[in-house]
Amino acid sequence: MHWHYSRWVTHGFDTIALHAGQQPDPYTGAVVPPIHQVSTYKQDGVGGLRGGYEYSRSANPTRTALEECLQHIEAGARGLAFASGLAAEDTLLRAICKPGDHVVIPDDAYGGTYRLFAQVLAPWGVEFTPVPLSDVDTVRAALRPNTTVVWIETPTNPLLNIADIEALAELAHQNSALLVVDNTFASPYLQQPINLGADVVVHSTTKYLGGHSDVVGGALIVADVELGERLTYHQNAMGAVAGPFDSWLVLRGIKTLGVRMDRHAANALSIVEMLQRHAKVGKVYFPGLPDHPNHDVAKRQMRNFGGMISFTVDGGEAAAIQVVERTEVFTLAESLGGVESLIEHPGRMTHASAVGSPLEVPADLVRLSVGIETAKDLVADLEQALG
Ligand SMILES: Cc1ncc(COP(=O)(O)O)c(C=O)c1O
């Protein structure tokens, strides 16, 4: 069922995204994998499974197509698709951690990831320490003999900090820990953590992979076949799988990931240029800026700097809220990575669950998910909103 990895290693990213796992249907020649909206499969005699399919929690052909594609676009040994990013994270953590283990997490992790550690895993006995991941020495100092996972996001949400994947993989492995990379913000088009030494890649496919704000999903891609087998077991045992239609939507999104990311990135550069010279804008957070503290690392490990920008507004929280409520092309909404531009106030929206924690974000911060609209319209919209 799974195509051998070597089938795709020599191809470019966009060729892999369009074809891996998506061979034309053998019966009809349909060039797009069908949506197999089915729960169970006829057996040709007891145990006589056709193509290994038995029950759609265990495996479904549309999900298989997506999982093979995910595996290849992240250069991994196995891809798995889940009902949401957090379902993927939960399945992973319950497969690789046990009570008494310790995990290092970013001190500006996605709020939902922090909540999973703080409210769900900690009561079951998994300890965690939030640290600034851009500082490798601080991460080294946080490691304990029982640290089994170093969990990183890069760029981070919403402060766009950058972690050096190669250096942290080395550090984690010296401690016999796994390096897990949440690659949601970059997407595999911009950065392939497994090629830099990571053991597991996590995605909220809700974001750039889906790309059209029409599906919630998650993914895990692993470097090691044996870990892939264990996670496949847990995926079935825990059951938080992606449904056939959601799998199909994510697969369709992945086909245009490369062209979308190029436009997201080009539009982001035009906006950053305007924000930097705007009198009412304070600090601009964007890894493409030469004065970003880890610009060099971002340049080394990313193809370009992506479509996410955060900035502070003079006048504090009230002024920031006024800006997010005034835009007309940017839509005021949570989430990110879709073709349409979104704007939000992390302190009161996506990161409200981090208020009062070490992960609290600045109150005057605005976050942009830059879409693929015409650049000048996006720039003009922000200019009018800033006043
Ligand atoms: C970086 C990151 N990781 C994980 C998640 C969780 O994914 P989902 O919302 O699909 O459960 C999100 C969602 O915003 C995210 O931004």
Ligand 1 centroid, distance to 307 Cα (angstroms): 16
Structure confidence at residue 55 (pLDDT) = 98
pLDDT one-digit tens code per residue, 96-155: 999 999 999 999 888 899 999 999 999 999 999 999 999 999 999 999 999 999 999 999
Structure confidence at residue 355 (pLDDT) = 81
* Nearest-atom index, ligand 1, CA of 334: 14
Q: Point out the residues of the chain with pLDDT beneath 70.
A: 1-8
| Coil, strand or helix at 142 | helix
- Ligand 1 in reach of 153 Cβ (< 6 A): yes
Structure confidence at residue 3 (pLDDT) = 43
Structure confidence at residue 7 (pLDDT) = 63
* Nearest-atom index, ligand 1, CA of 86: 11
Tell me the C-alpha distance between 313 and 366, whole Å: 7
SS3 sequence of 238-276: HCCECCHHHHHHHHHHHHCHHHHHHHHHHHHHHHHHHHH
Does residue 57 carry a catalytic annotation? yes
Does residue 110 carry a catalytic annotation? yes
Structure confidence at residue 6 (pLDDT) = 54
What are the start-end ranges of the E strands in the chain?
Answer: 78-82, 102-106, 127-131, 147-153, 178-182, 200-204, 218-222, 281-285, 308-313, 331-332, 342-344, 365-369
Structure tokens given for 280: 């009412």
Tell me the C-alpha distance between 20 and 67, whole Å: 9
pLDDT one-digit tens code per residue, 273-290: 999 999 999 999 999 999
Who contacts 104 (Cβ-Cβ below 8 Å, separation ≥6)? 128, 129, 131, 139, 142, 143, 147, 149, 150, 151
Q: Which one from 110, 114, 189, 285 is the annotated catalytic residue?
A: 110
pTM of the model: 0.96
Query: Which conformational region is residue 266 in: left (phi greater than 0), alpha (psi within -120 to 50 degrees), or beta?
Result: alpha
Structure confidence at residue 111 (pLDDT) = 86
What does DSSP say about strands 218-222 and 78-82: parallel, antiparallel, or unpaired?
A: antiparallel
Among 82, 185, 207, name the best residue to mutate to test ligand 1's pocket (greatest count of ligand atoms within 8 A of Cβ).
207
Do the Cβ atoms of 63 and 90 come closer than 8 Å?
no
